[in-house]
Amino acid sequence: MNSGFLFRYPPLVIFFITILVFVQIPVFLCYDLYASCNNKYHCGDIANVDYPFWGAGRVRGCGKPDLFLNCTRNITLIEMRNVTYRVFSVNMTTRSLKIAREDYYSGGICSPKSVNTTLDSNFFVYSSGYANITLVYGCPPSTTPELFGCLGIGVPEINGPGICKGPTVFVPVPTMIGDIWNVSKMEEVLREGFEVKVERG
């Protein structure tokens, strides 16, 4: 082929170069994504986690965008609806996670981030055996029994509607735990966390 032919038809040269670039680059990107997605998530005691999760060596394209597992100091965290949860275990066979609210786990019941424990229903459901309890913050000291060892926290059954001015927080606890209406038992239950199942993925 005469080299002068290519210079006489610059649009044809640009077309061939464009085809070569767009055919080669996607193949290269697919290889990297494939290699990354073959990696399993490992962080501390959490191991062998794959789709629909990503993080710690698994790029965003390897899982659902909202199911990022964050490895911090060998502790796995996941965020749902502006609440950070500590992940204790992930069972890929049963598609379940054991999680606890990080604010209750590390700060105790008296200093939460005042947001309900609401799961992202696009991905998770509570496992059976859990029910929500309601904690009310901002209660006047005269209406708050020393249930939890900190002032201003109560429960609707005792404090009644409209008395407390702070947020109401719903938290799941096991249904078969018995009496939890003291600070040490309640904090123990909240630190043990609860189980959720991956609904879709």
49 in the same domain as 20: no
Number of C-beta neighbours around residue 114 at 10 A: 13
Token readout for 151 is 């002032």
Kindly state the average pLDDT of the residues 171-180: 77
Question: Phi-psi bin for 44: left (phi > 0), alpha (psi -120 to 50), beta?
Answer: left
90 in the same domain as 12: no
Based on the number of CB atoms within 10 Å of its own CB, is 4 exposed (0-12), middle (13-18) or buried (19 or more)? exposed
159 in the same domain as 94: yes
113 in the same domain as 25: no
Domain count, the chain: 2
User: For residues 164 and 156, what is the distance between their CA atoms, to the nearest angstrom?
Assistant: 9
pLDDT digits (tens, 9 = 90+) for 130-144: 888 888 777 776 665
Q: Which residue has better confidence, 35 or 98?
A: 98
The pLDDT of residue 14 is above 50: yes
Q: What is the largest CA-CA distance in the chain?
A: 97
**pLDDT value, residue 23:** 53
9 in the same domain as 103: no
51 in the same domain as 28: no
Using the structure block, give the residue that is written with the tokens 């040269």.
13
Based on the number of CB atoms within 10 Å of its own CB, is 19 exposed (0-12), middle (13-18) or buried (19 or more)? exposed
% of the chain at pLDDT higher than 90: 26
181 in the same domain as 112: yes
15 in the same domain as 31: yes
34 in the same domain as 71: no
Its domain, for residue 124, covers: 39-198
pLDDT digits (tens, 9 = 90+) for 55-95: 988 888 888 988 999 999 999 999 988 889 999 999 999 99
133 in the same domain as 87: yes
Kindly state the average pLDDT of the residues 6-26: 59
Based on the number of CB atoms within 10 Å of its own CB, is 32 exposed (0-12), middle (13-18) or buried (19 or more)? exposed
125 in the same domain as 140: yes
**pLDDT value, residue 190:** 86
Q: Answer for the pair 150, 109: CB distance below 8 angstroms, yes or no.
A: yes
137 in the same domain as 91: yes
